[in-house]
Amino acid sequence: MKRILPVLALFAPLGLAQQGVMQLSLKRAVDIALTPEGSARVALAEQSIRVSETHVSQARAAFFPNLDGSVQERSQTVNLHTFGFNFQFPIPGFSIPAVVGPFSIFDARASTQLTVLDFTTIRKYQASRTGLQAAKADLDVTKDQVSEQVARAYLASLRQDAALDTARANVELSVALERLAQSQKDAGTGTGIEVTRAQVQLANDRQRLTVAENDRRRAVMQLLRAMGLNLDMDVQLSDKLSYQAVDTAKVEALLETARKGRSDLKAQEQHQQTARMNYSAMEAERLPSVSAFGDYGTIGNEIVGAHPTHTIGVQLKVPLFDGGRRASRRQESLVQVREEEIRTRDLGLQVELDVRLALDSLHSADSQVQTAGQGLTLAQSELEQAQRRYQAGVTNSLEVTDAQTRLDRARSNQIDALYSYNLARLELATATGAIQEYVQK
């Protein structure tokens, strides 16, 4: 329940609380999943952005001076022989001791160091900023993936809703036909086997209804899991499986739309740019760097009487030889660049494949919907004619049962066709990078 409360406000326009049943549309389901309290994948992607922001802060800190302060007081003795002093005087009674001290030293000092010019630091900062953009692009990818996952689960739930309605309609029809068979028998125009046949059909339909109810509960739980909500909620879906004709552009236009709109392709381009910036930073390690340093403080044998001293300087550092470590890092960074280029090229091919497959699936599903609609109309007409013939005594109940079976199959075919068509629309929206537009509509 604690994960539901932060998102209850999203349901205000739909009237959430109707005897404890949550009214849920596809748009609302996706909106809930994309909240911080929804899908864990979205929450983790947002945390990755926070980590990338800290990387930028760390890289930017290299442009600011390091300032340290210290205060020390120590008592010290020095062995002059250690420093090469070995005084020998021929004067009797006069000598310089080898160990000097103990004496006290007080030193209070502030020191600073500043990088004046270092191309490696500059490149690393630029790479961290590019990495932050890549993390934000990854968040968009995650949102699109979660939206697709929720949409698929929602469509599956709609399919089970339709299957449940069909199962209930079949039970109602079987009840009516069982009554008709009983009345025909009571009137002397029917037989006991016809009543038994109708009762068997009714028992089978009731069993299918039980299976449909269980399948519907499973589908709803999968939907709630994708949304990141508790699994014990009662959900009523406000949408239905329907057919809406879609005007599809040519393949070339869809491919161009996909290359501009696919979030995963944009994110991969950002990762490739980050790898290039990291390689540039490794290349800059061979260049000289300039830094400034200085310190200021007081030093003496005690606090009273200490004298101020300072040090100011500029350092030019030129890399000469490090045993090949820099060259190895550059080679490793270059390999990473090549890997990202391969991934980008492969993803481009995958985008084209996704678009073409989704477009073919949409055309095929559209044809299935038309055929299933015609089959359902014919099956309904057949059942009506069989019922009239049975009531008139022209035929027996076997013809009605056969027509009823074909109507059940036609209803299932229509559900499957509508589900395939809506799923193909979703896949095309995902392939072209328009999943958010699909969800909002």
pLDDT in tens, 389-405: 888 877 777 888 888 88
**Helices assigned H by DSSP within 96-191:** 119-186
pLDDT at 84: 76
Global pTM value: 0.81
Domain limits at 378?
A: 5-76+103-440
Please check whether residue 214 lies inside any domain of the structure. Answer: yes
Distance of alpha carbon 427 from alpha carbon 425, whole angstroms: 5
Please check whether residue 96 lies inside any domain of the structure. Answer: no
Q: How many domains does the chain contain in total?
A: 1
- Residue 103: pLDDT over 90: no
The residues pairing with 76 across neighbouring beta strands, listed in sequence order, are 103
Confidence label for 93 from pLDDT (cuts 50, 70 and 90): low
Please check whether residue 183 lies inside any domain of the structure. Answer: yes
Q: Which residue has the higher pLDDT, 421 or 83?
A: 421
Please check whether residue 150 lies inside any domain of the structure. Answer: yes
Please check whether residue 68 lies inside any domain of the structure. Answer: yes
- Residue 178: pLDDT over 50: yes
Plot region of 28 (φ>0 → left; ψ -120 to 50 → alpha; else → beta): alpha
pLDDT, the chain, mean: 87
Q: Could you report the per-residue pLDDT of 342-370, keeping only the tens digit for each? A: 999 999 999 999 999 999 999 999 999 99
Please check whether residue 276 lies inside any domain of the structure. Answer: yes
- Residue 6: pLDDT over 90: no
Confidence label for 215 from pLDDT (cuts 50, 70 and 90): very high
Distance of alpha carbon 163 from alpha carbon 390, whole angstroms: 28
- Percentages helix, strand, coil for the chain (3-state, rounded to 5) are 65, 15, 20
Average pLDDT score over residue span 317-342 = 89
Please check whether residue 90 lies inside any domain of the structure. Answer: no
Please check whether residue 97 lies inside any domain of the structure. Answer: no
Confidence label for 258 from pLDDT (cuts 50, 70 and 90): very high
User: At 291, phi and psi to the nearest 5?
Assistant: -140, 155
Distance of alpha carbon 401 from alpha carbon 332, whole angstroms: 73
Q: What is the CATH number of the domain that holds 373?
A: 1.20.1600.10
Q: Are 48 and 42 in contact (CB under 8 A)?
A: no
Distance of alpha carbon 415 from alpha carbon 252, whole angstroms: 32
DSSP structural state of residue 287: S
Only one residue has tokens 């349901």, namely: 11
Can you read off the two tokens belonging to residue 372?
Answer: 């299933």
- Residue 48: pLDDT over 70: yes
- Residue 41: pLDDT over 50: yes
